[in-house]
Homo-oligomer: A and B are copies of this chain.
Amino acid sequence: MSSKTFEGNYFEDFKMGQILRHATPRTITTGDVSLYSALYGMRFALQSSDEFARNVGYAGNGGLESAPVDDLLAFHVVFGKTVPDISINAVANLGYADCRFLLPVYPGDTLRAVSTVIGLKENSNGKTGNVYVRTEGVNQLGEPVLEYVRWVMINKRTPSPAESAPEAVLPDLPEAVRLEDLTIPEGLSYVTYESSLAGSDYMWEDYAVGEKISHVDGMTIEAADHMLATRLYQNTAKVHFNLHAMKEGRLGERIVYGGHVISLARALSFNGLSNAQTVLAINAGRHVNPCIAGDTVYAWSEVLDKAEVPGRDDLGALRVRLVALKDRTPEGFPYKTPEGKYDPAVLLDLDIWLLLPRRMA
């Protein structure tokens, strides 16, 4: 076999402080936005309407299109680039933290991604290790548009006795992104916000900490759906695409890219959180169970915290736990057992900061 084929990095290939510049810069277009719409049925007004976006201060790109793309579309595109270098040999995608959206991404922007290794920990079995990377998505002007930390369990090229493992280095990660680290898009003003266009009169003031919201609807995933999405993000992880190989595995099927479930849950959350137009941060995220084609995804939310934005009376931040379920309706809010184990129906446990308009005086 030719050595020109890249088989991805193994645990031993990562070094603390190592910088990985990921391949294939990608220009985002309105074609991507349409596909994102078709894949998830997103209904937030800000990303659906150039008019709505312009009206609340989004400047657009080159004056032509004004609506920013969905925050999670930008996230998936950046994430996708990192897969060949970071997680192609991953056993598990363990978690996300400290993900902050820094600049709106518009059709016409070209994104690339750079990761830095910020933590390494070999596992005691000597077969795998955990790698922590901080990834930055950068636009064509060199401006960071988002950044996040994720950690994955990666196979070692050569399994070795655990006693030989180097000392573990774990990054210091915030439990949640601090308020002062949230970025409100420049120019954004919800003074002229039209809630009738957005689909709901529930503003920031109307949500109470501890409140739970059932998002009612379920969406069944087809194999074509999740593969179209994952290829759109240029994410190459073989577990998503190769039935010939995966049918021999435990699930007998291709595993749905976890980000696909995140976007589905976010789309479902429109019914109950219609005015939560943007995601400011992903504080923490975990894919609790694998998802395959044929699964029906439901979602519910719990308000974890509320925060005023200093100097602003037109908008406020809401910290929400967004939980995705599989083949189980959300009205009972299934989450964890008294012993702290996840209910088997839980697919995703995501902790996010959302930005909402406030009710103007």
Binding site for B on A (CB under 8 A): 1-2, 4-7, 21, 23-27, 29-35, 37-45, 48-52, 65, 67, 84, 108, 110, 112, 140, 196-200, 202, 206-207, 211-220, 222-225, 227-232, 234-236, 238, 241-245, 254, 271-274, 294, 296, 327, 331
How far is B2's CA from A331's CA once the two chains are assembled, in angstroms? 9
How far is B274's CA from A2's CA once the two chains are assembled, in angstroms? 14
Task: List residues of chain B with CB within 8 A of the CB of A4.
Answer: 200, 202, 206-207, 213, 272-273
Q: Is the CB of B37 within 8 A of A51?
A: no
Partner pick for A242 among B214, B223, B243, B296, CB 8 A cutoff: B296
How far is B200's CA from A34's CA once the two chains are assembled, in angstroms? 31
Residue of B nearest to A111 (CB): B49
The CB with the most chain B CB atoms within 10 A, among A7, A212, A272, is that of A272
Q: Is the CB of B33 within 8 A of A35?
A: no
Task: List residues of chain B with CB within 8 A of the CB of A45.
Answer: 23-25
Distance in Å: Cβ of A32 to nearest Cβ of chain B: 5
In the complex, 30 of the A-B residue pairs with CB atoms within 8 angstroms, ordered by the A residue number, are: A1-B212, A2-B213, A5-B272, A6-B271, A23-B196, A23-B197, A24-B48, A24-B49, A25-B51, A35-B38, A37-B232, A38-B229, A41-B230, A42-B234, A43-B234, A50-B108, A51-B110, A52-B110, A84-B199, A112-B197, A217-B238, A218-B238, A219-B241, A219-B242, A223-B224, A224-B224, A224-B228, A225-B227, A225-B228, A228-B228
Task: List residues of chain B with CB within 8 A of the CB of A206.
Answer: 4
